[in-house]
Amino acid sequence: MTEPVSPEPVSPGTAGPEPTRPDTVVLVHGLWMTPRSWEHWVARFEQRGLRVLAPAYPGFEIEVEALRENPDVIARLTVPEVVDHLAGIIEALDRPPVIIGHSFGGTLTQLLLARGLGAAGVVIDSAPTEGVHVTPLSQVRSLFPALKTPANRRRAVAFTADEFHYAFANTLSAEDSRAAWERYAIGAPGDWIWAYGLIANLKPGHQETWVDYSADRAPLLFLAGEKDHIMPASVNRSNARHWERSPALTAYEELPGRDHWTCAAPGWEQVADKALDWALEHAAPLGGRAPVAP
């Protein structure tokens, strides 16, 4: 069942986690990005006494610049490979962590929670899991660079600076958007965008992004950007509603004025604090079950 989130502001705080609460945050990056996109969040959460992991997808351990030079590793990557890799990292921890994912990292976070992993999850501007049929025009335009030719299924597809500005950072100036593109952006596996994007729901059978929406899992918060073009709020709202069949807590909040670059755009600190505070408040106690939605 879904419920709204209180819009009241939250403060960063300084105290570490309680003994019965998560002591680790796992940050899952999305497509066109690497763990570098979380650099500010890592520092902020570490200041609160938490261990912070921002694992790379397999093969993404090298720097952004190296991935641009050799994008073959991006093109070959599969979703099951990434989910298994992330699951192995989480399963090796002493306590179930908070899992926070952005964009396709939100999809991966939902897949991890569906495996019974994590004490709480937050997905920010999440790409949808299978079965979400909402497809706004801004999303079609954002993904068109990857979908304009079937040959892109075998490639790593990168955005130009202008395409990145429209899809990711449309509330920023062109200059600030270009600076973000230059520091953070890489290509994305074209096959993922074709297989799990706009045409995923037309394919028969379950895809790798399928989850059982009726299953129990850790509490989950959707944070959606009002101005997001590539993963609009309507997509996230529909994804959250699919989870109403689950007995677990599902919450949804739309962030006014925020685009897809919300995790690094001005005001990112408030987004980070909101995500972490909600997760720590609602996390399943160690040895206990997650709070159940009323």
For residue 196, the model assigns a pLDDT of: 78
Give the Cα separation of 283 and 281 in Å (integer).
Answer: 6
The DSSP H or E segment spanning 250 is: strand 250-255
Give the Cα separation of 208 and 90 in Å (integer).
Answer: 19
Phi and psi at residue 208, in whole multiples of 5°? -70, -15
Structure tokens, 286: 């160690």
Chunked mean pLDDT (size 10), the chain, 294 residues: 42 50 97 98 98 97 94 94 98 98 99 98 97 93 92 94 99 99 97 79 78 97 99 98 98 99 98 99 72 43
Residue 251 pairs in a beta bridge with 3, 221
What domains are there in the chain, each with its CATH number?
Answer: 2-282 (3.40.50.1820)
SS3 247: coil
User: Which residues contact residue 290 at a Cβ distance below 8 angstroms, ignoring those fewer than 6 apart?
Assistant: 119, 120, 216, 217, 218, 219, 248, 249, 282, 283, 284
Pairing status of strand 156-157 against strand 188-189: antiparallel
Give the Cα separation of 198 and 253 in Å (integer).
Answer: 24
How much is the pTM?
Answer: 0.90
Report the b/e string of 165-190 with b at 16+ CB within 10 A. bbbbbbbbeeeebbebbeebbbbbbb
For residue 198, the model assigns a pLDDT of: 61
Q: pLDDT tens, 123-179?
A: 999 999 999 999 999 999 999 999 999 899 989 999 999 999 999 999 999 999 999
Using an 8 Å Cβ cutoff, are 101 and 30 in contact? yes
Pairing status of strand 220-225 against strand 120-124: parallel
Using an 8 Å Cβ cutoff, are 195 and 207 in contact? yes
SS3 129: coil
Structure tokens, 51: 């261990």
Q: How far apart are the first and last CA of the chain?
A: 7
The DSSP H or E segment spanning 147 is: helix 137-147
For residue 286, the model assigns a pLDDT of: 73
Distances (CA, A) of 49 to 39, 80, 142: 16, 32, 38
For residue 195, the model assigns a pLDDT of: 83
For 52-121, give the DSSP string: EE-PPPTTTTS-HHHHHH-THHHHH--HHHHHHHHHHHHHTSSSPPEEEEETHHHHHHHHHHHTT--SEE
